[in-house]
Amino acid sequence: MDPGSVSSNSREISALYPGCLLIIGGAEDRTGECVLLRAFAERSGGTGARIALITTASGVPGALFAKYLAAFRRHGVPDVCELRLADRDQGDGERTLSGLARATGVFFTGGDQSRLGPLAGSRANLLLRDRLAAGTLAVAGTSAGATALGQEMILGEDAAGQPLTGPGLGLLPEAVVDMHFTQRRRLPRLVTAVRQHPSLLGIGIDEDTAILVRGGRFEVLGHGTVTTVEARGKQPDVRVRVSRAGGFFDLEGRRPLP
């Protein structure tokens, strides 16, 4: 299978379940073929999509919004709006809820994931969970926006190099996500995070790579690999698996699928 393609199997899943979750490891192509952004746009409704871009994590939200706006418009999506959500009040506000209610796709950009912490448990967060569960929305996150989608999110590291974590948005429950994974050699960090939270599945995603989560499983899209880390029995044992583009993984059974 061409690593940049979306399999026919995925298209069949999309037809059965209108909602989906696309979690990107960061540094996705925004100027060329934009394989991952195009996949998100298609699952948000194509030319009829209404995408809300949440730039909360970014330190330069306006400039970043302009880049994504150009990329999505180039792939036929004219309706793209920005939500900065600077604090919890905005995350609970009616204007935010109205914007998310009309959206067919919601995209969390990269930046500093700690800025997304106040949104955990907000009314906006709960609305996104409800719409995903109902299958009426596509949600994506990249880099900082990717780790925020798990039950716990990695906030960085302490002085001793140990990962610091906090509550995530929980759109991918029972998981902790790390990004820029192979490029920044983050396997030790993810293993430690899983040991700190042994009930969670660790998912490390390479740059320009994503997992498409649907129906209790994910498919790997893009050009890199996805690493899963699972605690086994007594600490400190963990199981590490690597999946390549086109591979499927059963989130409920925590095992690769043929």
Q: What integer is the mean pLDDT of 224-237?
A: 90
Would residue 157 show up in a list of annotated catalytic residues for this protein? no
Provide the 3-class DSSP secondary structure of residue 131.
Answer: helix
Of the candidates 42, 207, 219, 243, the residue annotated as catalytic is 207
- For residue 15, pLDDT over 60 is answered with no
> What's the CATH fold of domain 8-247?
Rossmann fold (3.40.50)
Is 197 labeled as catalytic in the residue annotation?
A: no
The pair of structure tokens assigned to 196 is 């700190």
Given a cut of 70, whether residue 14 has pLDDT beyond it is no
Query: pLDDT digit string (tens) for 22-68?
Result: 999 999 999 999 999 999 999 999 999 999 999 999 999 999 999 99
Model pLDDT, residue 2: 36
* 114, burial (CB in 10 Å: exposed 0-12, middle 13-18, buried 19+): middle
Report whether 137 contacts 103 (CB < 8 A): yes
Domain positions in the chain are 8-247
pTM check: above 0.85: yes
Residue keyed to tokens 């709960």: 126
pLDDT in tens, 180-208: 999 999 999 999 999 999 999 999 999 99
**pLDDT surpassing 90 at residue 17:** no
What count of other Cβ atoms lies within 10 Å of the Cβ of residue 173?
13
Q: Which amino acid is at 60?
A: V
143 in active site: yes
Q: Which of 28, 143, 152, 243 is catalytic?
A: 143
